[in-house]
């Protein structure tokens, strides 16, 4: 599954290749997606390459090849400076599942819904089993899960927007580069990308207007990792 920004960039690259015969420059990609720096484009291209959607051709400047497209790929090239792709509505009711025509409320799983994730509130303090959020079981893996509503724009370049509901697998460990719910100094719960830098831990936002924060290894405790996202339009 691609994030919204990854999908936007892949669509733009493919349309530019079809229209011009050459891939767009990093500046063109940055402007098309409305990013403030090219570092966000580098991260998105790396993620698309790791997922097998594009390939960087060696020994050639700005050479990219689209290897595959998601099913809801857009074929219409956007106007320069006004890139606004049409994303398939991924609100809960339209998420594709096996035998989708027979899906009903009994074929969903109710996750504890802890409300908005906000600075100063540990996940434990949000725990409220009286509220639940229904999702298709195919969106979940093994283990215990819970749902949180996103507040703010610190992860927009990873396709996580204000008002989205994220699905979190409860765990106290995470791989380098995963997006996690982290508890900082026992007080502040935040959703960020986890980076280990030697003996330090970096909590990295996906928004160039926000700063990466660095902590000691005993200042951060992982409380879960991102496994899914639901958006209502």
Rounded to the nearest integer, the mean pLDDT of the chain is: 77
Instruction: Quote the CA–CA distance of 190 and 197 in Å, as a whole number.
Output: 19
DSSP 115-170: EEE-TT--HHHH--TT-EEEE-GGG--SS-EEEEEE-SSTTGGGT--TT-EEEEE-
- pLDDT reading at 104 higher than 50: no
Sheet holding 109-117, edge to edge: 132-135, 109-117, 145-150, 165-169, 220-230, 179-184, 188-197, 200-204, 213-215
Q: Of residues 39, 130, 154, 200, which has the active-site annotation?
A: 154
195 SS3 class: strand
- Can you tell me the mean pLDDT for 98-114? 61
CATH of 4-66, one of 3.30.750.24, 3.40.190.10, 1.10.10.10, 3.20.20.70: 1.10.10.10
Active site residue 192: yes
Task: Give per-residue pLDDT as tens, 61-102.
Answer: 667 888 887 655 544 433 344 333 333 333 333 333 333 333
Instruction: Provide the 10 A C-beta neighbour count for residue 65.
Output: 11
Residues of the chain with CATH 1.10.10.10: 4-66
Active site residue 154: yes
- Identify whether the C-beta of residue 88 lies closer than 8 Å to the C-beta of residue 121: no
Angle at 203 (CA atoms; ends 175, 211), nearest 5 degrees: 150
pLDDT band at 43 (very low <50, low <70, confident <90, very high): confident
The predicted pLDDT at position 226 comes to 93
- Can you tell me the mean pLDDT for 12-32? 87
- Stated as kind and residue range, the H or E segment containing 33 is helix 26-33
- Identify whether the C-beta of residue 168 lies closer than 8 Å to the C-beta of residue 135: no
The predicted pLDDT at position 3 comes to 76
Residues of the chain with CATH 2.10.109.10: 106-230
Instruction: Quote the CA–CA distance of 99 and 96 in Å, as a whole number.
Output: 9
CATH number of 106-230: 2.10.109.10
Q: Of residues 39, 68, 192, 200, which has the active-site annotation?
A: 192
């Amino acid at each position: 599954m691609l994030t919204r920004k990854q999908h936007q960039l892949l669509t733009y690259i493919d349309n530019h290749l079809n229209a011009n015969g050459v891939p767009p420059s990093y500046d063109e990609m940055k402007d098309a997606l409305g990013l403030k720096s090219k570092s966000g484009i580098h991260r998105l291209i790396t993620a698309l390459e790791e997922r097998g959607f594009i390939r960087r051709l060696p020994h050639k400047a700005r050479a990219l090849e689209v290897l595959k497209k998601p099913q809801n790929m857009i074929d219409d090239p956007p106007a320069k400076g006004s890139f606004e792709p049409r994303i398939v509505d991924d609100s809960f009711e339209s998420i594709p599942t096996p035998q989708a025509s027979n899906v009903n409320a009994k074929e969903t799983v109710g996750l504890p819904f802890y409300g908005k994730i906000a600075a100063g509130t540990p996940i434990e303090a949000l725990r409220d089993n009286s509220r639940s959020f229904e999702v298709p079981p195919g969106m979940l893996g093994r283990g215990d899960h819970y749902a949180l509503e996103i507040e703010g724009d610190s992860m927009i370049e990873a396709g996580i927007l204000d008002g989205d509901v994220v699905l979190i697998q409860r765990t106290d460990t995470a791989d380098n580069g995963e997006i996690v719910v982290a508890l900082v100094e026992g007080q502040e719960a935040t959703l960020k990308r986890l980076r280990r830098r030697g003996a330090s831990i970096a909590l990295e936002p996906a928004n160039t207007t926000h700063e990466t924060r660095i902590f000691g290894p005993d200042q951060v405790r992982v409380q879960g990792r991102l496994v899914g996202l639901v958006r209502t339009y």
